[in-house]
Amino acid sequence: MTADRPLTGRDASRTGFLAAISAHLLWGFLPLYFLVLAPAGPFEIVAWRVVFSLVLCIVLATVLRGWGRILTVLRTPRLLWTLGLAAVFIFINWQVYVIAAVSGQVVEAALGYFINPIVTVLLGVFVFRERLRPLQWCAIGISGVAVIVLVVAHGAFPVIALALAFSFGLYGLTKKRLGPDVDALTGFAVETAWLFVPSVGILIAVASSGLLAFGSAGPGNALLLMAAGPMTAIPLLLFATAARRLPLSALGFIQYSTPILQFVLGVVVLHEDMPPERWAGFALVWLALVVLSVDLVRVARRPRLVPVSPGI
């Protein structure tokens, strides 16, 4: 795959930066796309995302002569099972995200992706036994207070937000551990192949209940559902490309663009409820992100680079 050839220095950074920005902008506007897929329900939408993403991967692998790399992964148990684990995490993330988008909870989805950098730091502690710096502990503490405020004052445990934050954080961690062994297209093709059979099972279950929208809600709806493949694959391929070419700290800063867009869509466009106590919870999360960002900048400016926690 030409776009995924090894790059070094400035070219690699520029390619990674553009890929990361493009991926997060596309993710930021996805809620609007899911809303126009009605009357398709969230489980049907995610199942078609998998099916048509796999179709697109097959086409791209054929055109770009990527079958050799795919077969290599399929013959390597470590890579195959690692991608299977990544597939589980991204499937959970997709399903929760679509449920949030179609049920009027885009703001909480945004909260999940605001929390994600904090989850990344926690994963560094539990997975890699990293020692946190004082400002990192401070950011985690503030985030914990934010969750308490949302539970006690707002009266709702942020299940969707935490599910999105942890599933995507674990997905990014899993992909990062693959390193340069698996390129973007190969990884995504194998992930969707893992999810194909469960997705077909979901479609059969939805059809048997008489709720399948594909083919019964008009050609426009069918075409939009088919477009779920490219709408899913393109940002993920861009993300995988960025993850291999940018330092973790840079990826952490860029990922803020997605929840900012989601938050604006939820509040300004979709007019979701934002009582004062919910604003307070969000304000605490944003404060935690500021503290975490200050810490990352301080570390980046040191003469000798200190390893940062893993993330997307």
The list of the chain residues with pLDDT below 50 reads 1-5, 304-312
* Domain annotation covers residue 88: yes
* Domain annotation covers residue 240: yes
User: Helix 42-63 to helix 77-102 angle, to the nearest 10 degrees?
Assistant: 140
Distances (CA, A) of 124 to 172, 227, 310: 12, 36, 6
State the pLDDT at residue 306.
Answer: 35
Say if CB 99 and CB 195 are below 8 A apart.
no
Residue with tokens 């013959």: 75
Say if CB 16 and CB 242 are below 8 A apart.
yes
Structure tokens at 92: 């959970």
* Domain annotation covers residue 312: no
Under the phi-then-psi rule, with left for phi > 0, alpha for psi from -120 to 50, and beta for the rest, what region is 218? left
Say if CB 116 and CB 256 are below 8 A apart.
no
For 295-303, which contacts have Cβ atoms below 8 Å and span 24 or more sequence positions? 295/133, 295/135, 295/136, 295/139, 296/249, 296/252, 296/253, 298/135, 299/133, 299/249, 300/249
- Number of Cβ atoms within 10 Å of the Cβ of 271: 9
The DSSP element (H or E) to which 32 belongs, if any, is helix 9-35
State the pLDDT at residue 1.
Answer: 42
State the pLDDT at residue 117.
Answer: 80
- Number of Cβ atoms within 10 Å of the Cβ of 258: 24
State the pLDDT at residue 304.
Answer: 44
* Domain annotation covers residue 212: yes
* Domain annotation covers residue 109: yes
State the pLDDT at residue 143.
Answer: 85
* Domain annotation covers residue 308: no
Distances (CA, A) of 58 to 23, 54, 142, 203, 284: 21, 6, 45, 20, 44
- Name, in order, each residue with C-beta under 8 angstroms of 245's C-beta and a sequence gap of 6 or more: 7, 12, 13, 15, 16, 19
Structurally, the chain folds into a number of domains equal to: 1
* Domain annotation covers residue 311: no
Say if CB 185 and CB 61 are below 8 A apart.
yes
CA-closest candidate to residue 252, choices 300, 311, 308, 305: 311
Expressed as residue numbers, the domain containing 256 is 7-300
* Domain annotation covers residue 305: no
Residue with tokens 């002569």: 65
State the pLDDT at residue 181.
Answer: 80
